[in-house]
Structure 1
Amino acid sequence: MKHVKKRAKLLLPILALLLVLAGCQTVGGLDVNKALLGNLDVKSAEESMSFSLNAVPAAGISAEDQKIIDLINSFTLNVSHLKLQEGGDISASGTLGYKQASIPFTFYMSKTVLALNVEGAKKPFYFPMEGYYQELSGTGLDLEKAESVNKLLSQFVIKNLPNPSAINVTPVNEAVYGESLNLMKLHAEVTGDELPGLLKAFLKSVSQDTEGFTELISGLYDYLLPVLKQESTTDMLSSIGLGDVPLDNKAEVVTVLHDAAKLAVDTALLLYDKELDRLYESAPEIKTVLSKDTKLQVDLFVDSALHIRKQNMSLNVALPNDGSIPIRSISFKTETQLWNINGPVKADPIATEGALNVMETELTPGVVLRNFTADSTAYRVLKDDLGITKKSVVIYPGEDYSDTVVKGTTTMIPLRYLAYELDAEVKWNAATKQIIVTDDVYGTTIVLKAGSKDAVVGGVKVKLPQPVFFDRYGRGYVPLRSIAEALHAQVKVDSEGLIYITRD
C-alpha cells in the first residue's frame, strides 16, 4: 500500500502540469484564450491523432520489470480518421500498435450505442447507451445544457490561468491534411519547478475574479438545480451553509455559494506555502517530479478563425529513484490535425445486429478469445502477449478457504471454488442428476455424477481416483488434480505441501 500511495501522490502534479498551458493570455498578437475557446464551438470536424510513450528504466531493475517497460514502449495508437458529426455522433478508424503487431480497429459512439470492431473479430463488441442516458435524465439534469456548462467552466479556467515563462508566437506555413495553410504557431514550455508558482497565481486570479466566479456558479446553479432539490443532497447543502436557504431563490443561493467558494480559495492561498512545504516533507519524491527535468512542450497551430488546426505535445515526467518505481522517467507524445471544421461530416456507424452485447455477456477470457479467429493478430496478442487466459492459484491445504480434504492419497476440492478460479461454468442437470462443467477457454465439457468415479471429459470416459461427493453444506467435492488438468491447468505440490494450479 505504501508504494500505491506514493504513486497516487505523483499523479497530482502530473495532471496539474497538463492543465497549465490552458491559460495563456495574448502573446505576439494572438489571443490564445479565444483560440482555445474557439474550438469549443466546433460542431463537426475531421481529425487525425497519434499517441506514443516511452519509459526510461531505472538502473538495476529486474528482467521482469524490463520486460514490462519494453511492452509499454511498444504501445502506439494511431487514429487515421476521426469524424465528429453535428449532434455528437463520433466514429474513428486506426491502428493499435503493440510490440511488432499492428491491429486495425473501428469505433463508433452515439446516444444509443458505443461499438468497437477489431480486425480478426467475428462480431463487433457493443455497449447500449440508451439506459445510460435514461439514467442521467432520471436525475433531472438537462443534458442539452451540459455543453454550455462545459464552455462556461472552460472560459473561467482559461481566463484565470497564467502564462508560463517560455512562450512565443510566430507566423508559419504548415500542411494540415495535405493542405498548405498560413497559421500562427504558438510554442510554450513548462517545467515542473514552475508549476507551484503557476498554480498559486491561478488561485490568486480566481480569488479576484468576482464576476467570472459568480457567472460560473450561476451557470452551475441552473444546471444542477434538479439535483440540489433531491432529498439526498440535504446534508451536503447544510454543510456549506445552504440548509436554510430557499433553493428557488437563485440570487441568494449563488451569493452563499460564491462566498463559501471564495473563502475556500482564500484559505488555500493563506496556507499554500506551508502546505507545499509539508507536502515536500511528507513525500520528498514529489521534488523530483516537480523539477526542471519534468517538462511539457506544446506547439499549437492556429488559423485566422482562431481554430487550432494542428497540435504537437510532448511531456516528460521525471520520477524518483527510490526503488518504488522501476522507471526513471516516462514521456508521452501526441500529434493531432483538424480539418473540415463545421463542414458536412457524417460519422460511420458500426452495425450491431448480431454483435456481442457486453451488457448481456460476461466477457471471460474464453468468451473474448472465441470472438476472434485463431489466426488473427488480436488473438495472438491477447493470448500470448497479454496472457488473458493465464491463471495462477496457490492453495494452502488445511488453512485455505478452499476447504480441501484428503481421501486416501487424493486431495479433494469444492468444485465451484476450482471452477471459479479457472473461469469454468458449473451446471446441475436435475433430470440426469449430473454435474456439467464447461471449460471457459477451450469449451471442454466434463460430466460428473455424485457418488461415482466415472466421468466424461470432452466426450471420453475416464475414471477418477475418488468418487464425487457432497458435504453436509451441499458442496460438491471433486479430485483436484483430475479436474484441474481436465480444465487445461497444471498442478504442482512443493516440499511444504502448497498446491500450485497454473494455466498458460
Structure 2
Amino acid sequence: MIRARKVFALIAFVMSFMLVFTACDPVSGVNLNQVMKASLEQTSYEGRLLMGIEWQPSELEISDTAQKFATELGLLAVMPKLELDLYEVRQQDLQTASMKGDLKLGDLALPIAMSVSPSLIVIEIEGIERPLVMDVHKPYNDLFFELDYEQINEASLGLTLAAYEYLIPNLPNPKKIDISSASIELNGKQEQVRKIHAEIPGSEVHGLLEQLLSSLAEDEEGLKEFLSEAYDALMPFILDVIEEAGAQYGSDREPDPIEELVLAYLNNKTLVTEFLYTTITQGYNIALNRLPVLTEDEDWNNVFHDDTYMTVDLYLNRNMNIVQSDVELLLAPANAAGSLRITTSTQIWNINADVEAEQLGSTNGIMLDNPLAGEEILQAIDWQSPLGQLLSAFGLNQKTVLLPADQVHAENGVSFMTAYQISRELGLVLDQSADLETSVVFTDLSSEIRVELPLNQNIIIINGTAKEIPSGAFQHGVPSSFYTYVPIRAVAEAFGYEVAWNPNLQMIELTKLYR
C-alpha cells in the first residue's frame, strides 16, 4: 500500500508540474512565455470549471497488488465517475472569490457552494446542515503578537511573481505541440480563438525533467534575479515579525546578542542571496546526477510509459489571455486493474472587470481545525438527505473507536478511562464549569445529551434521570479531568455507542450508528 501511495504521489507531483508549466518557448509566432505570464495579471474574472475523475476497469486478469490498488480507490470501484461542476465562479480579487456548483457521484448531484475571503473559507454542502469553515489565519493565531495579514499576502504574491519570472523561461516544450484557429462558445457567445494543443506521453516526462533541471542549473543570472526579488518581497515582512516579537519583551530589555547577529545576517542581502544561490545550485547538480537512476526504477517505469499521457488544450483570445483550458490526464500503471482518467475544463470571461464574489455566512459553522470537527460533521448530516443516504449505503454513517489496552484502567471487572481521554475519543464536551471535586459532566456537541457522574457513587445521570451502574466515577490525586476516571461502558452507551471486545486487536471497540 505504501508503495502504491508513493507511486501516485510521484505522478501527482510530476504531472501537475508539467500541466502548469509546460510549453513556454515560442510556437508558430506565439510567445508562450508571455502567455503564461499574462495569466498572473488576471486579478478578477467570472467563469466555470468542470472536473472529472473516471475509473476505467481493465478486462485483463490482475495481480493481488493491482487489486489492492483498485480497492484503495474506494467509491470509484463501484461508482466509476465523479464530477465537480462549478457552473458559477467569481473571483473578485486575488483573495476574494466564490463558486457554486454540483458534486456529481454517478446519478446523484449534490449542490455545493464555497466562498473565499482574506480571513475565512466557507463551504456549504447540501445534506450537511451547518457550513464548514476554515480560518485562513489559523497558522498564525497562536502567536503572542499580531501579524499584518495584508503584508503577508503582498509578500506571498511577490514571491510567486518572482518564481514565475524565473521558472517560466526555463520550461521546455514537449515534442508534440502546435497552434491552430478554433471557435468556442464562451459565456453564451461564439469566440474566435487560437488553440494550443500539447501532448505529453509518460515516456517523455524523464527527458522534460532533465531539460528543465539543466536549464535551471545553467540560468545563473535568472536564479540571482529571482533570489534578489524574493529577498525584497519577503525581508520586510520577516524583519517586522522579528521586531514585533522583540517588542513583546519591552523596549527597555537588554539587547539579545543572538538576535542582533541574526539581524546582521538578514540585513546583508548579498550574504543571504549568495548563500541561497550556492545551496540551490548544488541541489540542481545533485538532482541531475541522480536523475538517471529513475530510468531503472521499477515504480517509475510502471507508470511513465506511452500508455500514460496528458493532453493540454489552451484557447487564447485576441488579447492573448487564456480563456479556456482543457486537460486530460490518463494514468495507466502497468499490470494494474485499469486506468484512472482525470479531466478538467475551465473557462473565464470578464477578465479584470468589476466582479463581486458572493460571501457565504459562517454563523454556527463547523471549524475544520477543531479536533472535534469530524464528530460535528457526522452530527450535522441529514441522514435522510441524498448525501446521508449515499454515505449510509457505503457504511460511512458509522463511527468506530478503538481503545488501546494501555489507556484503560480495570478495577473490579469494570474498565475505566480518564474523563479527558474519553471526551477526546468520543468527541464529547467536558463541562469545565462543573465542580470536579463532586462530579464530572459530559455533553454531546448538539447539547441534546447531558451525562453527569457523581464521584464515588454508582450512579450515572442522563438528562436528569439517574440510573444505577456497577461502578461509578472516582479520582486518583488532585481534582482534574486527567485524574478523574469514568466507566467506559456506562458513558459510551449513554451517548449511543455499542461496546464490545475485539479479540483480534485486543482492544475495546465502541461503535455508533448515525441515522
Give 1:180's match in structure 2, choosing from 151, 169, 190.
190
* Separation in structure 2 between the aligned mates of residue 26 and residue 18 of structure 1, nearest angstrom: 22
Residue 453 (structure 1) shift = 2.7
Residue 295 (structure 1) shift = 0.7
2:250: which partner in 1? Answer: none
* Separation in structure 2 between the aligned mates of residue 133 and residue 420 of structure 1, nearest angstrom: 24
Give 2:318's match in structure 1, choosing from 301, 304, 309.
304
- 2:376 maps to a residue whose letter is V
Deviations 1:218-277 (A, max 9, x none): 211211324676889xxxxxxxxx9999654545654564455444434543x1xxx234
- 1:401 maps to a residue whose letter is Q
Query: For residues 6 and 70 of structure 1, do their structure 2 counterparts lie closer, same or farther at Cα, with a shift above 3 Å needed?
Result: closer
TM-score by length of 2: 0.79
2:27: which partner in 1? Answer: 27
* Separation in structure 2 between the aligned mates of residue 35 and residue 313 of structure 1, nearest angstrom: 17
1:265: which partner in 2? Answer: 284
2:92: which partner in 1? Answer: 85
Give 1:207's match in structure 2, choosing from 198, 202, 217.
217
Residue 341 (structure 1) shift = 1.2
1:434: which partner in 2? Answer: 439
Deviations 1:159-187 (A, max 9, x none): 11111111111111111122111111111
Residue 158 (structure 1) shift = 1.7
Q: Is the aligned partner of 1:105 residue 2:112?
A: yes
Contact 2:442 2:450 survives alignment (8 Å): yes
Deviations 1:53-88 (A, max 9, x none): 123565553796575433674432111111111463
* Separation in structure 2 between the aligned mates of residue 481 and residue 203 of structure 1, nearest angstrom: 60
Give 2:367's match in structure 1, choosing from 354, 358, 366.
358
* Separation in structure 2 between the aligned mates of residue 67 and residue 257 of structure 1, nearest angstrom: 43
Percent of aligned positions with the same letter in both sequences?
A: 22
Give 1:483's match in structure 2, choosing from 488, 491, 512.
491
Contact 2:443 2:449 survives alignment (8 Å): yes
1:11: which partner in 2? Answer: 9
Contact 2:367 2:373 survives alignment (8 Å): no
Residue 312 (structure 1) shift = 0.8
1:235: which partner in 2? Answer: none
2:291: which partner in 1? Answer: 276
Q: Which runs of 5+ in 2 are unaligned?
A: 244-260
* Separation in structure 1 between the aligned mates of residue 36 and residue 456 of structure 2, nearest angstrom: 73
SS in 2 for 1:301: strand
1:236: which partner in 2? Answer: none
- 1:34 maps to a residue whose letter is Q
Contact 1:49 1:78 survives alignment (8 Å): yes
Contact 1:413 1:477 survives alignment (8 Å): yes
Which deviates more, 46-55 or 363-372?
Answer: 363-372
- TM alignment of 1:308-387, pairs within 5 A: 308-319=322-333, 321=335, 328-352=338-362, 354-356=363-365, 358=367, 363-373=372-382, 375-381=384-390, 385=394, 387=396
- 1:420 maps to a residue whose letter is R
Contact 1:156 1:212 survives alignment (8 Å): yes
Contact 2:366 2:373 survives alignment (8 Å): no
1:237: which partner in 2? Answer: none
Residue 489 (structure 1) shift = 1.7
- 1:351 maps to a residue whose letter is G
* Separation in structure 2 between the aligned mates of residue 431 and residue 198 of structure 1, nearest angstrom: 65
- 2:217 maps to a residue whose letter is S
Which deviates more, 387-396 or 471-480?
Answer: 471-480
* Separation in structure 2 between the aligned mates of residue 74 and residue 361 of structure 1, nearest angstrom: 32
Deviations 1:30-63 (A, max 9, x none): 2222222211111211110011112356555379
- 2:126 maps to a residue whose letter is E
* Separation in structure 2 between the aligned mates of residue 179 and residue 470 of structure 1, nearest angstrom: 73
Query: For residues 453 and 243 of structure 1, do their structure 2 counterparts lie closer, same or farther at Cα, with a shift above 3 Å needed?
Result: closer
Which deviates more, 481-490 or 375-384?
Answer: 375-384
Q: Which runs of 5+ in 1 are unaligned?
A: 233-241
- 2:429 maps to a residue whose letter is E
Residue 367 (structure 1) shift = 2.6
Residue 140 (structure 1) shift = 11
- 1:20 maps to a residue whose letter is M
* Separation in structure 1 between the aligned mates of residue 350 and residue 322 of structure 2, nearest angstrom: 12
2:457: which partner in 1? Answer: 452
- TM alignment of 1:232-271, pairs within 5 A: 247-248=266-267, 250=269, 254=273, 257-258=276-277, 260-269=279-288, 271=289
Which deviates more, 196-205 or 364-373?
Answer: 364-373
- TM alignment of 1:279-298, pairs within 5 A: 279=294, 283-298=297-312
- 1:11 maps to a residue whose letter is A
Residue 393 (structure 1) shift = 1.6
- 2:443 maps to a residue whose letter is T
Q: Is the aligned partner of 1:54 residue 2:54?
A: yes
Contact 1:167 1:188 survives alignment (8 Å): yes
- 2:498 maps to a residue whose letter is Q
- 1:55 maps to a residue whose letter is W
* Separation in structure 1 between the aligned mates of residue 280 and residue 135 of structure 2, nearest angstrom: 38
1:414: which partner in 2? Answer: 417
* Separation in structure 1 between the aligned mates of residue 503 and residue 262 of structure 2, nearest angstrom: 66
SS in 2 for 1:188: strand
Deviations 1:135-154 (A, max 9, x none): 79459966335434323321
Residue 415 (structure 1) shift = 5.1
SS in 2 for 1:180: strand
- 1:445 maps to a residue whose letter is R
Residue 296 (structure 1) shift = 0.8
Query: For residues 462 and 295 of structure 1, do their structure 2 counterparts lie closer, same or farther at Cα, with a shift above 3 Å needed?
Result: same
Contact 2:402 2:507 survives alignment (8 Å): no
Q: Is the aligned partner of 1:500 residue 2:506?
A: no
* Separation in structure 1 between the aligned mates of residue 305 and residue 81 of structure 2, nearest angstrom: 27
Query: For residues 203 and 443 of structure 1, do their structure 2 counterparts lie closer, same or farther at Cα, with a shift above 3 Å needed?
Result: same
Query: For residues 117 and 36 of structure 1, do their structure 2 counterparts lie closer, same or farther at Cα, with a shift above 3 Å needed?
Result: same
SS in 2 for 1:404: strand
Contact 1:366 1:389 survives alignment (8 Å): no
* Separation in structure 1 between the aligned mates of residue 188 and residue 416 of structure 2, nearest angstrom: 65
Deviations 1:10-34 (A, max 9, x none): 4235422332352421222222222
CA RMSD across the alignment: 3.8
Deviations 1:265-308 (A, max 9, x none): 34543x1xxx2343455x52121122222211111111121111
Q: Is the aligned partner of 1:151 residue 2:167?
A: no
Which deviates more, 250-259 or 191-200?
Answer: 250-259
Contact 1:54 1:332 survives alignment (8 Å): yes
* Separation in structure 2 between the aligned mates of residue 378 and residue 314 of structure 1, nearest angstrom: 28
* Separation in structure 1 between the aligned mates of residue 364 and residue 312 of structure 2, nearest angstrom: 41
TM-score by length of 1: 0.81
